Amino acid sequence: MKSEEVSILCEAVINSEPMNRILLSKFIAAVASRDVEISAAESWLKAVHKYGISAQDTITLTNEMMNSGSILTWEEEPELVVDKHSTGGVGDKMSLMLAPALAACGLKVPMLAGRGLGHTGGTIDKLESIPGFNCNLTPQQMQDSVHKIGCCIAAQNDAIAPADGLLYAIRDVTQTIDSIPLITASIISKKAAEGLHALVLDVKCGSAAFMKTEQDAIQLAQSMVAVASGLGIKCQAQITSMDNPIGSHIGNSLEVIESIEVLQGKGHQDTRNLVIMQASSLLLLSNIVQTTAEGDAMISQVLDDGSALNKFEQMCIYQGVSVETARMLCKNPHKVLPISNTKIEIISNKAGYVNSINSLNLADVARSHGAGRFDIEDIIVPEVGFIITKNIGEKIDSGQCWMEFYYTNEPTYEEISLLNRSITISQQEIVPQPRLITVVEEPRGK
Ligand code: URA
């Protein structure tokens, strides 16, 4: 595509005019086939980042990005195809449980997920700590897995919304990531390419989230819900707090362990509650249930009766894990997953009630020990992470352990000191606040 044509798009953005649809379509196709000058794409991204684009142009852009690659199609029961997306948080392992739990309820979940570039590993990094787990599925394999099992979790690849790959890479180096229309188009185009009927978005907000304030989180949620529903997907966004870590385990292997515990009907209540909340709203959006209470009961049942765990085991086997390993993983994950055998206990120097745990400090330390990446080429160390042994609101004595740190390289004095300072203790009793702050939905009647 000629750079002069991209300049016409830039002019429209700068003048707050609608972009020419034909040129926009040509531009996104050119980005997907890598047939555009990088400098022209940079100028366009910078213009969108600086001036924004209308809701209608965001829908058009998302649609073009979705159409830049393969789109999964579902001939049988398309109304049962669902997924969720989370903007990411510390200890956020929901996808690992959500996909098999929803499959156990009869829904179809062709989940695409990412590797983490940031503080913590992504869903794919967590799954890749399971020996043999293959996340590199073709669109055809994704469809086959969903037909056979009801779910799969695959890594994003260039077959799906390939325009996003290049645009995201350029955004990363041009400081244009934090643009609501660009984030919206990037996330929703990939989800829409799964051929979804319904989508739940978990938009995290707080000190350890991408969106720090409730207002910013709501703005992003409104944009994503509007675009998803503009593309015919039923969509709800849940704004949830991301100050304290989610559940008890942080780190790649450790988060798989906590997820399996929840799938065994046990596990941390915080994690279980989030799974139930997200899954229940997908059951409602798909008309499998008529009330939230029914949805909550249905998900609780599949977590408690082993059927969600059974779907997880089948998904592992379909995605390359040997039958014996998958069985053992679901029975006793400690025997299968790599966990460091060196750990240090982090001790409270005060008595009282746990008031807060600084997620960002934990994520910083975990990342510098290999649980997350600084660079896309970095290799994840799956055995590193934390187990939090005292929950928010729980009573703690001075000298008592509140967290275990599993490491492979000796932590520095500064790191231990940072971890020691990552808990606040209150003298008064603390009532833990619910994660859900508010819900953003598409306008009624759609
Ligand atoms: N995740 C994505 O996939 N894209 C963005 O733009 C931001 C987060």
Residue among 177, 178, 180, 184 to mutate when testing ligand 1 (max atoms within 8 A of CB): 177
Known catalytic membership, residue 197: no
> Which residue, by CA, sits nearest to atom 3 of ligand 1?
187
How many A from CA of 350 to the centre of ligand 1?
40
Residue 186 near ligand 1, beta carbon < 6 Å:
yes
> Which residue, by CA, sits nearest to atom 1 of ligand 1?
187
**Atom number of ligand 1 nearest to Cα 168:** 6
Give strand pairing partners of 241.
205
Residue among 168, 227, 376 to mutate when testing ligand 1 (max atoms within 8 A of CB): 168
**Atom number of ligand 1 nearest to Cα 156:** 3
How many A from CA of 299 to the centre of ligand 1?
28
CB atoms near residue 251 (< 10 Å): 35
**Catalytic-labelled residue, pool 57, 92, 125, 164:** 164
Known catalytic membership, residue 179: no
Residue 187 near ligand 1, beta carbon < 6 Å:
yes
Residue with token string 């619910």: 434
Known catalytic membership, residue 190: yes
Phi-psi region for residue 91, left (φ > 0), alpha (ψ -120 to 50) or beta?
left
Query: Which residues neighbour 147 within 8 Å (Cβ) at sequence distance 6 or greater?
Result: none
> pTM above the 0.75 mark?
yes
Known catalytic membership, residue 186: yes
For residues 321 and 276, give the distance between their C-alpha atoms in angstroms, rounded to a whole number: 27
For residues 369 and 384, give the distance between their C-alpha atoms in angstroms, rounded to a whole number: 7
**Atom number of ligand 1 nearest to Cα 171:** 6
> Which residue, by CA, sits nearest to atom 8 of ligand 1?
183
Structure tokens at 137: 């599925």
For residues 190 and 290, give the distance between their C-alpha atoms in angstroms, rounded to a whole number: 28
Residue 176 near ligand 1, beta carbon < 6 Å:
no
Structure tokens at 397: 């004595």
How many A from CA of 293 to the centre of ligand 1?
32
Spell out the per-residue pLDDT of the chain, length 446, in tens: 999 999 999 999 999 999 999 999 999 999 999 999 999 999 999 999 999 999 999 999 999 999 999 999 999 999 999 999 999 999 999 999 999 999 999 999 999 998 876 777 899 999 999 999 999 999 999 999 999 999 999 999 889 999 999 999 999 889 999 999 999 999 999 999 999 999 999 999 999 898 999 999 999 999 999 999 999 999 999 999 999 999 999 999 999 999 999 999 999 999 999 999 999 999 999 999 999 999 999 999 999 999 999 999 999 999 999 999 999 999 999 999 999 999 999 999 999 999 999 999 999 999 999 999 988 788 999 999 999 999 999 999 999 999 999 999 999 999 999 999 999 999 999 999 999 999 999 876 54
**Atom number of ligand 1 nearest to Cα 87:** 8
How many A from CA of 187 to the centre of ligand 1?
5
**Catalytic-labelled residue, pool 26, 84, 85, 204:** 85
Known catalytic membership, residue 249: no
How many A from CA of 168 to the centre of ligand 1?
7
Residue 156 near ligand 1, beta carbon < 6 Å:
no
How many A from CA of 186 to the centre of ligand 1?
6
For residues 240 and 439, give the distance between their C-alpha atoms in angstroms, rounded to a whole number: 9
Q: Could you tell me the domains of the chain?
A: 3-53 (no CATH), 78-330+436-441 (3.40.1030.10), 342-426 (3.90.1170.30)
